Amino acid sequence: MNAGLGIRIGSVTAAAALDTDPVTSVVKRSALDLRPGEAPRLAELWDRSTRNLISGFADRVGDPVELIDDDGRSHHAEDLYATAARALVAEASAGTESAPTVVVTHPTRWNAYTAEVLGDALDRAGLTDVTLVPESVATMRWLEVTRGTQSDGLAVVYDLGATALDVTLMRTGSEAGTVGTGVHSQEYGGAQFDHAIMQYVLDTVSGSQSFEFDPFDPDTVGALVELRARCGEAKEQLSYDTSTSLTVDLPGLHTEVRLVRSELEELVRASLLGSIGVVRDAVTAAGLDVTDIDQVVLVGGSSAIPLVAELMSSELRAPVVAGPRPELTVAIGAAILGSDIADATSSDDAAALAAAPTTAVASAAAAAPMPRPTPRPAPTPTAVESDAGMSGRKKAGVVAGSVLVLALLAGGGLSVGTALTSDNTTPAESNAETSISSTETPGTTAAVADAATTTAATGENGVAATGSESAPTTVVNADGTVTQIDPATGAPVAGAPAAAPADNGAATVPTVPSVAAPTVPNYQPPAVQVPQAPSVPQYTPQPLPSVGNPIPRVTNGLENTVDAVTGLVPNVIDGLTQ
Q: What is the pLDDT along the chain (578 residues), one digit of tens a residue?
A: 678 999 999 999 999 999 998 999 999 999 999 888 889 999 998 887 777 899 999 999 999 999 999 889 999 999 999 999 999 999 999 888 889 999 999 999 999 999 999 999 999 999 999 999 999 999 999 999 999 999 999 999 999 999 999 999 999 998 889 998 899 999 999 999 999 999 999 988 887 666 677 778 888 888 888 999 999 999 999 999 999 999 999 888 889 999 999 999 999 999 999 999 999 999 999 999 999 999 999 999 999 999 999 999 999 999 999 999 999 999 999 999 999 999 888 764 444 444 444 344 344 444 443 333 333 333 333 333 333 333 333 333 333 333 333 333 344 333 333 333 334 434 334 343 333 333 344 444 333 334 444 444 444 434 344 444 455 666 556 555 656 666 666 666 655 544 444 444 444 444 444 545 455 455 555 555 555 555 555 555 555 555 455 444 444 554 555 455 455 545 545 555 44
Q: Residue 171 falls within a domain, yes or no? A: yes
Structure letter (DSSP) for residue 492: B
Distance (Å, whole) CA 456 – CA 450: 10
Task: Give the amino acid at 228.
Answer: R
Tell me whether residue 398 is in a domain. Answer: no
CA of residue 411 relative to chain centroid, distance: 52
Task: Decide if 350 is inside a domain.
Answer: yes
pTM of the model: 0.62
pLDDT digits (tens, 9 = 90+) for 401-460: 333 333 333 443 333 333 333 344 343 343 433 333 333 444 443 333 344 444 444 444
The pairing of beta strand 13-18 with beta strand 24-29: antiparallel
Indicate the residue type of 96: T
Residue 303 included in any domain: yes
Q: Taking a C-beta distance cutoff of 8 angstroms, is the pair 465, 457 a contact?
A: yes
Distances (CA, A) of 482 to 103, 479, 507, 509: 120, 9, 8, 9
- Residue 106 identity: H
Residue 195: CB partners within 8 Å, gap ≥ 6?
228
Is 567 among the domain residues?
Answer: no
Rounded Cα gap, residues 166 and 159, in angstroms: 5
CA distances from 507 to 116, 476, 500 (A): 105, 10, 6
Cα-flanking dihedrals φ and ψ of residue 221, to 5°? -60, -45
pLDDT of res. 475: 57
Asked whether residue 72 is assigned to any structural domain, the reply reads yes
List the one residue out of 329, 327, 355 whose CA is nearest residue 343.
Answer: 355
Q: In what order do the strands lie in the sheet with 41-42?
A: 41-42, 31-33, 53-55
Residue 491 in any domain: the answer is no
Q: What's the confidence (pLDDT) of residue 541?
A: 56
User: 97 lies in which domain range?
Assistant: 4-189+269-367
In a domain, 137, yes or no: yes
What is the CATH number for 354?
3.30.420.40
The identity of residue 354, as a single letter, is A
Q: Report how far residue 110's alpha carbon sits from residue 130's, in angstroms, rounded to the nearest whole number.
A: 18
- Predicted confidence at residue 362, as pLDDT, reads 43
Strand partners, 253: 250
> What distance lies between CA 238 and its chain's CA centroid?
47
Domain count along the chain:
1
Cα 146 to Cα 140, 329, 357, distances in angstroms: 10, 11, 14
